[in-house]
Amino acid sequence: MAAWKSWTALRLCATVVVLDMVVCKGFVEDLDESFKENRNDDIWLVDFYAPWCGHCKKLEPIWNEVGLEMKSIGSPVKVGKMDATSYSSIASEFGVRGYPTIKLRFLGGLKIGVWPFFIGEIKRGLGI
Protein backbone atom coordinates (compact mmCIF):
# COMPACT_ATOMS: atom_id res chain seq x y z
CA MET A 1 0.00 0.00 0.00
CA ALA A 2 2.82 2.45 0.88
CA ALA A 3 4.56 1.72 -2.42
CA TRP A 4 1.35 2.51 -4.29
CA LYS A 5 1.00 5.86 -2.46
CA SER A 6 4.61 6.73 -3.25
CA TRP A 7 4.08 5.87 -6.91
CA THR A 8 0.90 7.98 -7.04
CA ALA A 9 2.66 10.93 -5.41
CA LEU A 10 5.56 10.63 -7.86
CA ARG A 11 3.19 10.56 -10.84
CA LEU A 12 1.34 13.59 -9.49
CA CYS A 13 4.59 15.54 -9.09
CA ALA A 14 5.70 14.58 -12.60
CA THR A 15 2.35 15.71 -13.99
CA VAL A 16 2.63 19.09 -12.26
CA VAL A 17 6.16 19.60 -13.60
CA VAL A 18 5.11 18.68 -17.15
CA LEU A 19 2.05 20.94 -17.01
CA ASP A 20 4.19 23.81 -15.73
CA MET A 21 6.61 23.35 -18.61
CA VAL A 22 3.81 23.14 -21.18
CA VAL A 23 1.98 26.20 -19.87
CA CYS A 24 5.13 28.34 -19.72
CA LYS A 25 6.41 27.17 -23.11
CA GLY A 26 3.01 27.95 -24.59
CA PHE A 27 3.84 31.66 -24.41
CA VAL A 28 7.16 31.34 -26.24
CA GLU A 29 6.72 30.68 -29.93
CA ASP A 30 9.19 28.49 -31.84
CA LEU A 31 10.10 30.58 -34.87
CA ASP A 32 11.19 29.46 -38.33
CA GLU A 33 12.04 31.05 -41.70
CA SER A 34 8.53 32.53 -41.98
CA PHE A 35 9.34 34.84 -39.05
CA LYS A 36 11.08 37.35 -41.31
CA GLU A 37 8.20 37.81 -43.74
CA ASN A 38 5.09 37.03 -41.71
CA ARG A 39 5.71 38.84 -38.45
CA ASN A 40 6.15 42.46 -39.54
CA ASP A 41 2.96 43.62 -37.81
CA ASP A 42 4.11 42.61 -34.33
CA ILE A 43 6.75 43.50 -31.78
CA TRP A 44 8.94 40.49 -30.96
CA LEU A 45 11.48 39.67 -28.29
CA VAL A 46 13.49 36.79 -29.73
CA ASP A 47 16.06 34.45 -28.20
CA PHE A 48 18.47 33.13 -30.82
CA TYR A 49 19.95 29.94 -29.41
CA ALA A 50 21.99 26.87 -30.30
CA PRO A 51 20.68 23.47 -29.14
CA TRP A 52 24.14 22.42 -27.89
CA CYS A 53 24.82 25.68 -25.97
CA GLY A 54 24.95 25.26 -22.19
CA HIS A 55 24.02 28.88 -21.44
CA CYS A 56 21.08 28.58 -23.84
CA LYS A 57 19.84 25.49 -22.00
CA LYS A 58 20.07 27.34 -18.68
CA LEU A 59 18.23 30.31 -20.19
CA GLU A 60 15.29 28.25 -21.50
CA PRO A 61 13.22 28.06 -18.28
CA ILE A 62 13.88 31.75 -17.61
CA TRP A 63 12.87 32.58 -21.18
CA ASN A 64 9.65 30.62 -20.71
CA GLU A 65 8.96 32.73 -17.61
CA VAL A 66 9.56 35.89 -19.68
CA GLY A 67 6.95 34.67 -22.17
CA LEU A 68 4.49 33.91 -19.40
CA GLU A 69 5.06 37.27 -17.72
CA MET A 70 4.66 39.25 -20.96
CA LYS A 71 1.40 37.44 -21.64
CA SER A 72 0.09 37.85 -18.08
CA ILE A 73 0.67 41.63 -18.02
CA GLY A 74 -1.05 42.03 -21.38
CA SER A 75 2.08 43.20 -23.17
CA PRO A 76 1.86 43.64 -26.95
CA VAL A 77 5.37 42.19 -27.18
CA LYS A 78 5.41 38.59 -28.36
CA VAL A 79 8.18 36.29 -27.15
CA GLY A 80 9.85 33.78 -29.42
CA LYS A 81 12.92 31.63 -29.84
CA MET A 82 14.82 30.55 -32.92
CA ASP A 83 17.41 27.85 -33.42
CA ALA A 84 20.14 30.01 -34.92
CA THR A 85 22.03 26.96 -36.17
CA SER A 86 19.06 25.84 -38.28
CA TYR A 87 18.16 29.33 -39.49
CA SER A 88 21.64 30.81 -39.73
CA SER A 89 20.80 33.24 -42.53
CA ILE A 90 18.07 34.89 -40.45
CA ALA A 91 20.30 34.88 -37.37
CA SER A 92 23.00 36.55 -39.43
CA GLU A 93 20.56 39.25 -40.58
CA PHE A 94 19.85 39.96 -36.92
CA GLY A 95 23.56 40.25 -36.18
CA VAL A 96 23.78 37.09 -34.08
CA ARG A 97 27.42 36.23 -33.41
CA GLY A 98 27.12 34.18 -30.24
CA TYR A 99 24.62 32.24 -28.19
CA PRO A 100 22.30 33.08 -26.63
CA THR A 101 21.48 36.40 -28.29
CA ILE A 102 18.29 38.29 -27.49
CA LYS A 103 16.90 40.79 -29.99
CA LEU A 104 13.88 43.05 -30.06
CA ARG A 105 12.13 43.47 -33.40
CA PHE A 106 9.79 46.44 -33.75
CA LEU A 107 6.95 47.00 -36.18
CA GLY A 108 8.28 47.20 -39.71
CA GLY A 109 11.32 45.08 -38.98
CA LEU A 110 13.62 47.39 -37.01
CA LYS A 111 15.96 45.18 -35.00
CA ILE A 112 17.93 46.08 -31.88
CA GLY A 113 19.91 44.06 -29.40
CA VAL A 114 18.51 44.04 -25.90
CA TRP A 115 21.18 42.04 -24.09
CA PRO A 116 22.42 45.03 -22.04
CA PHE A 117 18.92 45.61 -20.65
CA PHE A 118 18.49 42.03 -19.50
CA ILE A 119 22.05 41.06 -18.64
CA GLY A 120 21.73 41.49 -14.86
CA GLU A 121 18.47 39.55 -14.63
CA ILE A 122 19.63 36.79 -16.96
CA LYS A 123 22.97 36.42 -15.17
CA ARG A 124 21.14 36.06 -11.87
CA GLY A 125 18.88 33.42 -13.41
CA LEU A 126 21.83 31.53 -14.89
CA GLY A 127 23.74 31.75 -11.63
CA ILE A 128 26.70 33.48 -13.29
Catalytic residue among 56, 90, 102, 122: 56
What is the Cα gyration radius of the chain?
A: 17
Task: Tell me whether residue 56 is one of the annotated catalytic residues.
Answer: yes
How far apart CA 63 and CA 103 sit, in angstroms, is 13
Q: Which entry of 53, 62, 70, 104 is annotated as an active-site residue?
A: 53
Task: For residue 126, count CB atoms less than 10 angstroms from its CB and return exposed for 0-12, middle for 13-18, buried for 19 or more.
Answer: middle
Residues carrying an active site annotation: 53, 56
